[in-house]
Amino acid sequence: MPLELFLDLYSPPCRAIYIFARKNGIPFEFRPVELGRAEHLKPEFLKVNPLGKVPALRDGDFLLAESVAILLYLSRKYQTAPCWYPPELQARARVDEYLAWQHTAIQLPATNVYLCKSLLPHFSGQPVDTVRLDQLLGRLKPALQHMDQEVLVARPFLATEQVSLADLMAFTELMQPTAVGCDIFRDWPRLAAWRARVEAALGPELVQEAHKRVLQPRDPRDAQRDPQLAQELVHRVQERLG
């Protein structure tokens, strides 16, 4: 059986895996899982990932969750170009360093900005809470400052002199708030130049394809199809945002 990737392209880690597989010519079956319709909680998906999260991978009888683990699995199995996960010890350690740091420093606050600006208003029907949004953007600022004023002063990419898995993950994460009108690159010139370099390295057409859904306005009818589900999603988001 072909490799299967269970993804929702609204999710930054899912987009990173999609881009990586497409960029490296890895053959796979795309299995869409819509988080906004709670498909990740359905029994058939829970057989793939009992944690009820995307992304997930099925390779024959082998099941794997967690975006970083999946990226590393794909890079090793398909022996992708060494720039993605360098063989040299210290260069690889720099990639590992970012991949360990990004979960709480970038992914969590960037996703929370997206949830506050887009998902919560969409499903609740209420306007954006601008006070909360400013607070959430403030939580992302230290990481942006670190990347712009320290990391990218020393090198053109986050880990090495070439694009790597670190840049791929960071790019998709930072595009999440950007896609809904929070231009987080505006005040950070090195970060903005890095974004352009990463997009060029990945290929603008592939980037556009992977981000097509998140860049489009959500269909307002989605929130009306299942009011109970919409209410549950609102509760979950509000609980997460605190």
pLDDT one-digit tens code per residue, 91-130: 999 999 999 999 999 999 999 999 999 989 988 989 999 9
Q: Output the pLDDT for position 138.
A: 97
Cα gap 133→137, rounded to integer Å: 6
> Mean pLDDT across the chain, nearest whole number?
95
Amino acid at 74: L
Q: What is the mean pLDDT of residues 154-169?
A: 97
Give CA 98 to chain center in angstroms.
14
pLDDT in tens, 28-60: 999 999 998 889 999 999 999 999 999 999 999
CA distances from 62 to 14, 67, 89 (A): 19, 15, 28
Band the pLDDT of 218: cuts 50, 70, 90: confident
Contact (Cβ atoms closer than 8 angstroms) between residue 10 and residue 36 = yes
The stretch 120-148 carries a mean pLDDT of 95
pLDDT at 223 over 70: no
Q: What are the structural domains of the chain?
A: 3-83 (3.40.30.10), 89-236 (1.20.1050.10)
